[in-house]
Amino acid sequence: MHLHGHTFQLAGGGPRKDTAIVLPGKALRVEFDADNPGRWLTHCHNVYHGEAGMMTTIAYQNG
């Protein structure tokens, strides 16, 4: 999965990045700083998966 506008760290630690592999049937927990307000897309880089619904948005505002 790829998160636009931010970098994140896996909940268990490791480097900051904007893309991580999520295995079928699994969940992934990430931590990121909500320091870039707006509406951001998160999606699978496999076009078929994205078209099948593996995409959503994350939206927030400051204040």
Provide the token pair at 49. Answer: 């998966």
Q: Kindly state whether residue 29 falls inside one of the protein's structural domains.
A: no
Q: Kindly state whether residue 16 falls inside one of the protein's structural domains.
A: no
Is the pLDDT assigned to residue 47 strictly greater than 80? yes
Q: Kindly state whether residue 50 falls inside one of the protein's structural domains.
A: yes
Number of structural domains the chain divides into: 1
Is the pLDDT assigned to residue 63 strictly greater than 80? no
Question: Given this model, what pLDDT does residue 23 score?
Answer: 86
Q: Residues 56-63: what's their mean pLDDT?
A: 90
CA distance 3 to 5: 7
Question: Given this model, what pLDDT does residue 59 score?
Answer: 96
Residues shown for the chain: 63
Provide the token pair at 35. Answer: 């320091």
Q: Kindly state whether residue 30 falls inside one of the protein's structural domains.
A: no
State pTM to two decimals. Answer: 0.80
Q: Kindly state whether residue 33 falls inside one of the protein's structural domains.
A: no
Sorted by sequence, the CB contacts under 8 Å of residue 6 that are 6+ apart come out as 18, 32, 33, 34, 35, 36, 40
Question: Given this model, what pLDDT does residue 48 score?
Answer: 85
Contact 43, 50 (CB under 8 A): yes
Domain membership of residue 48 as a residue range: 1-10+38-63
Model pLDDT for residues 11-38, shown as the tens digit of each residue? 989 999 999 998 888 888 999 999 999 9
